[in-house]
């Protein structure tokens, strides 16, 4: 949600007004999207870091359990939603169309549009970048070490606080990029779009296995497919019911996820 | 630890006490306000003034305000002011808000509720309290079948609008493959079901999409695969606009037909002028320019609100005036106004307002509008078959 508003304000600062058909093509479009993505990611990342400081670190300091962290997360999420509702209003805010939505090619009977391709490629790119980061860099190694065992990691000289902040920052950056893809695809944003998306993202992560990056992507794809096939069979009103039923089933029968948990293994 | 217990017990008592007091407060004065117009009376407006579909509520509120302004100019004796109740068009907000209106003893009548869903939720409360309502826009036919003595509808209902829309699809568009989508609200599903029933086997695709859905791709893909040439959408302009935009983005060129809830300039704004071109909308409301003294109404409205009148502004104006007739005749209390409305015969600018035993009016003409060049233009009444 914050990422989407970041992208929206980026377009406003660049002088593009909503509703006006400010269609771009070629390099101009790429630069525009990159600029909007950067603003979205910065906004989202900053929020994540601040939240970590305010809502999670005090709990960690006092040794509070995971449940407290979860409740704190819900509280922080509601706070952000309402803050934006007061600032932006409770109606949907339109996002200008930045590119002509053309059909690029067909896969059997389905048409693939350029914005749909952008979303798919964007998601894959984010996964690859994050994967590389966690697997090859020193900071990434620190993240994996803390995930495996915080105490031992401290003994090995890893700064836990810094690693936690970094993890939140990474999450925020990815969310910001996802926010840009969301507004380019759906051309709307609002104070409460993050709520349902957050729950579905959680479902996708659990489906793929907590800590497993490829699993999360696969989980997201699987969830989307199941939702839409279900909607085709039973009607669009059942989409969310199907999503949550899938979450329930996965938690009941395979809580470690389809591809298996991989907090400790270097499998990312 | 021990010292905390008495405090905790007391703290637990306080909410219980508060609830008790609130319950007492509600039942306070049970009679309708006063016998005269000593302190002035209030005419309530109940509908969406904020939220996704606020334009529809604001149009009506402005129509009511215009009627009150004109009344005040010629009748300085009894001061009638507008009391707005913003329900955001939501059935969950409606009952609490209705209770607020009922508790305000100066409110002697209500124009509204504007939407059918909130009507279903709030009207039973109004009926129990004897607070008369005249709705200029809630068109679900089932509302009149509940035996509410306070219910009055100043507009034709969906039993004429639904068949008219279906007739247009069949006879003018000659569409043999139709998709019908509704938004699951009392109003949207109501009229969509009537259209489904009228078109029978011509309906090859059905879907029900909740309000505020962002992504209509499964609906649009399904409609495309069914090969529909026309889509009827039962719902309001905010969701209808998004559906229409996504229909065109996904290459579905079917004619978009919808109802009076989608008859608003915001439909075109949300969908984009290019996507909205050729969309057809039905309404039991005549174009403002064509009603009696239409030009004068438009001029007065523009002078008062700096904007053009919208859907149901004229019906709201008439609904307010019908109630003002009662006040003019010296009825300043709820019972009096309700009794007056039983026998009123008033020539409003949109139609002759005379309520039958169920609170309905006789005028049943349905008009069709088309989006041409980014503007809504009326193309005349539908020939009833």
Question: Which of A113, A188, A237 is closest, CB to CB, to B210?
Answer: A237
Binary contact (B218, A237; C-beta < 8 A): no
Q: Which residues touch B165 (CB under 8 Å, ≥6 apart)? A: B191, B195, B232, B257, B259, B282, B366, B382
Q: How many residues does chain B have?
A: 385
How far apart CA A164 and CA A57 sit, in angstroms, is 9
Q: Which residues touch A36 (CB under 8 Å, ≥6 apart)? A: A6, A7, A10, A11, A180
Q: Helix crossing, A239-253 with A193-208: angle to 10°? A: 30
Which residues of chain A lie closer than 8 angstroms to B206, CB-CB? 235
Say whether residue B211 is in contact with chain A using an 8 A CB cutoff.
Answer: no
Q: Which of A88, A194, A235 to mutate to test the interface with B (most CBs of B within 10 A)?
A: A235
How far apart CA A86 and CA A90 sit, in angstroms, is 8
Q: How confident is the model at residue A21 (pLDDT cuts 50, 70, 90)?
A: low
Say whether residue A235 is in contact with chain B using an 8 A CB cutoff.
Answer: yes
CB B286 within 8 A of CB B350: yes
DSSP state of B169: I
Question: Which of B54, B213, B242 is closest, CB to CB, to A236?
Answer: B213
Q: Which residue has the tokens 């065992």?
A: A149
| Gap from B372 CA to chain A (nearest CA, Å) | 18
The pLDDT of residue A207 is: 87
Q: Around Cβ A259, how many Cβ atoms within 10 Å?
A: 18
Q: Helix crossing, B116-129 with B94-103: angle to 10°? A: 30
Binary contact (A237, B184; C-beta < 8 A): yes
Q: Around Cβ B377, how many Cβ atoms within 10 Å?
A: 10
The pLDDT of residue B21 is: 65
Pairing of strands B367-372, B375-381: antiparallel
Q: Where are the alpha helices (DSSP H) in A97-212?
A: 114-136, 138-148, 150-155, 160-186, 193-208
Q: Which helix (H) or strand (E) holds B283?
A: strand B280-283
Q: How confident is the model at residue A265 (pLDDT cuts 50, 70, 90)?
A: low
How far apart CA B34 and CA B351 sit, in angstroms, is 33
Q: Which helix (H) or strand (E) holds B193?
A: helix B186-199
Q: Please, which residues 127-146 of chain A have a Cβ atom closer than 8 Å to chain B? A: none
Pairing of strands A103-107, A110-113: antiparallel
Say whether residue B347 is in contact with chain A using an 8 A CB cutoff.
Answer: no
Q: Residue B52 has which token pair?
A: 């996704």
Say whether residue A40 is in contact with chain B using an 8 A CB cutoff.
Answer: no
| Gap from B223 CA to chain A (nearest CA, Å) | 10
CB A119 within 8 A of CB A178: no
Say whether residue A102 is in contact with chain B using an 8 A CB cutoff.
Answer: no
- CB hemisphere CA count around B40 (13 angstroms): 11
How far apart CA B309 and CA B47 sit, in angstroms, is 17
Q: Which residue has the tokens 């003893």?
A: B105
Pairing of strands B133-135, B151-153: parallel
| Angle value at C-alpha A1, between A31 and B118, nearest 5 degrees | 130
DSSP state of B254: P
Give chain B's residues under pLDDT 70: 1-4, 20-36, 383-385
Q: How confident is the model at residue A262 (pLDDT cuts 50, 70, 90)?
A: low
DSSP state of B384: P
Note the pLDDT tens digit of each residue in B310-337.
Answer: 999 999 999 999 999 999 998 899 999 9
Sign of CA pseudo-dihedral B277, B278, B283, B289: positive
Question: Which of A109, A186, A236 is closest, CB to CB, to B207?
Answer: A236
DSSP state of B32: P
Q: Which residue has the tokens 């996504």?
A: B246
In this prediction, residues A218-226 reach a mean pLDDT of 91
Binary contact (B214, A188; C-beta < 8 A): yes
Nearest chain A alpha carbon to B207 = A235
Binary contact (B214, A193; C-beta < 8 A): yes
The pLDDT of residue B145 is: 94
CB B265 within 8 A of CB B310: yes
CB B134 within 8 A of CB B64: no
Q: Residue B125 has which token pair?
A: 């409360």
Which residues of chain B lie closer than 8 angstroms to A91, CB-CB? 50-52, 54
The pLDDT of residue A212 is: 80
Evaluate if residue A142 carries a pLDDT over 70.
yes
Q: Please, which residues 9-38 of chain A have a Cβ atom closer than 8 Å to chain B? A: 19, 21
Q: Which residue has the higher pLDDT, B11 or A240?
A: A240
Question: Which of B207, B215, B251 is closest, CB to CB, to A103?
Answer: B251
- CB hemisphere CA count around A62 (13 angstroms): 9
Q: Residue B280 has which token pair?
A: 């057809």
Q: Which helix (H) or strand (E) holds A105?
A: strand A103-107
Which residues of chain A lie closer than 8 angstroms to B215, CB-CB? 186
The pLDDT of residue B22 is: 60
Say whether residue A188 is in contact with chain B using an 8 A CB cutoff.
Answer: yes
How far apart CA B183 and CA B190 sit, in angstroms, is 10
| Gap from B255 CA to chain A (nearest CA, Å) | 20
Which residues of chain B lie closer than 8 angstroms to A232, CB-CB? 218, 221-222
Question: Among B312, B368, B283, which residue's Cα sits nearest to residue B134?
Answer: B312
Backbone phi, then psi, for B71, in 5-degree steps? Answer: -65, -45
Which residues of chain B lie closer than 8 angstroms to A193, CB-CB? 214
Chain A / chain B CB contacts < 8 angstroms: 49
**3-state SS assignment for residue B69:** helix
Question: Among A128, A156, A126, which residue's Cα sits nearest to residue A142?
Answer: A156
Binary contact (B207, A103; C-beta < 8 A): no
Which residues of chain A lie closer than 8 angstroms to B245, CB-CB? 187
Question: Among B247, B171, B167, B168, which residue's Cα sits nearest to residue B207?
Answer: B247
Q: Please, which residues 125-184 of chain B have a Cβ atom closer than 8 Å to chain A? A: 184
SS3 annotation, A7-31 = HHHHHHHCCCCCCCCCCCCHHHHHH
Which residues of chain A lie closer than 8 angstroms to B54, CB-CB? 91
Q: Residue B366 has which token pair?
A: 């349905």
Say whether residue B213 is in contact with chain A using an 8 A CB cutoff.
Answer: yes
């Amino acid at each position: 949600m914050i990422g989407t508003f970041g992208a929206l304000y980026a377009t406003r600062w660049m002088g593009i007004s909503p509703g006006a058909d400010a269609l771009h093509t070629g390099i101009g479009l790429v630069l525009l999207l990159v600029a909007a993505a950067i603003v979205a990611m910065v906004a989202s990342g900053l929020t994540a870091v601040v939240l970590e400081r305010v809502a999670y670190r005090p709990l960690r300091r006092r040794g509070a359990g995971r449940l407290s962290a979860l409740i704190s997360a819900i509280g922080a999420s509601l706070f952000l939603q309402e803050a934006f509702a007061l600032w932006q209003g409770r109606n949907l805010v339109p996002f200008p169309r930045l590119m002509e939505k053309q059909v690029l090619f067909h896969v059997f009977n389905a048409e693939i549009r350029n914005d749909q391709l952008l979303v798919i490629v964007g998601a894959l790119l984010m996964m690859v970048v994050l994967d590389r980061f966690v697997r090859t860099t020193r900071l990434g190694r620190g993240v994996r070490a803390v995930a495996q065992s915080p105490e031992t990691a401290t003994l090995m000289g890893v700064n836990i606080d810094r690693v936690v902040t970094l993890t939140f920052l990474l999450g925020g950056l990815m969310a910001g990029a996802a926010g840009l893809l969301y507004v380019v695809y759906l051309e709307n944003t609002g104070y409460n779009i993050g709520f349902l998306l957050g729950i579905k993202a959680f479902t996708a992560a659990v489906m793929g296995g907590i800590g497993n990056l490829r699993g999360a992507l696969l989980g997201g794809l699987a969830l989307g497919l199941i939702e839409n096939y279900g909607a085709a069979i039973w009607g669009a009103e059942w989409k969310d019911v199907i999503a949550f039923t899938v979450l329930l089933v996965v938690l009941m029968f395979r809580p470690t996820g389809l591809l298996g948990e991989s907090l400790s293994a270097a499998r990312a | 630890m021990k010292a905390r217990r008495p405090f905790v017990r007391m703290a637990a008592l306080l909410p219980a006490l508060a609830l008790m007091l609130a319950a007492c407060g509600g039942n306070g004065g049970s009679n309708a306000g006063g016998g005269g117009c000593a302190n002035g009376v209030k005419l309530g407006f109940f509908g969406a003034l904020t939220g996704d579909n606020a334009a529809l509520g604001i149009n009506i509120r402005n129509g009511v305000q215009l009627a009150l302004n004109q009344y005040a100019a010629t009748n300085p004796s009894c001061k009638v002011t507008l009391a707005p109740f913003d329900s955001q068009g939501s059935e969950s907000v409606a009952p609490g808000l209705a209770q607020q209106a009922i508790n305000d003893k100066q409110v002697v009548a209500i124009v509204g509720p504007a939407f059918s869903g909130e009507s279903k939720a709030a009207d039973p409360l109004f009926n129990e309290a004897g607070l008369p309502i005249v709705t200029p826009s809630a068109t679900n036919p089932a509302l009149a079948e509940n035996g509410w003595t306070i219910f009055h509808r100043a507009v034709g209902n969906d039993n004429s609008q639904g068949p008219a829309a279906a007739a247009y699809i069949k006879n003018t568009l000659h569409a043999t493959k139709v998709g019908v989508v509704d938004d699951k609200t009392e109003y949207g599903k109501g009229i969509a079901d009537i259209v489904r029933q009228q078109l029978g086997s011509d309906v090859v695709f059905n879907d029900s999409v909740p309000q505020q859905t962002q992504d209509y791709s499964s609906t649009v893909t399904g409609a495309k695969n069914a090969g529909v040439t026309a889509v009827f959408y039962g719902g309001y302009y905010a969701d209808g606009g998004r559906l229409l935009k996504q229909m065109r983005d996904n290459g579905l060129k079917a004619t978009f037909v919808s109802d009076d809830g989608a008859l608003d300039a915001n439909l075109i704004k949300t969908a984009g002028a290019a996507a909205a071109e050729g969309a057809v909308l039905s309404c039991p409301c005549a174009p403002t320019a064509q009603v009696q003294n239409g030009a004068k109404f438009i001029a007065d409205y523009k002078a008062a609100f700096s904007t053009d009148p919208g859907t149901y502004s004229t019906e709201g104006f008439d609904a307010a005036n019908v109630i003002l007739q009662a006040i003019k005749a010296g009825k300043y209390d709820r019972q009096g106004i309700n009794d007056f409305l039983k026998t009123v015969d008033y020539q409003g600018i949109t139609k002759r307002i005379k309520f039958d035993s169920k609170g309905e009016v006789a005028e049943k003409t349905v008009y069709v509008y088309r989006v041409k060049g980014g503007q809504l233009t009326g193309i005349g009444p539908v020939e009833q078959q």
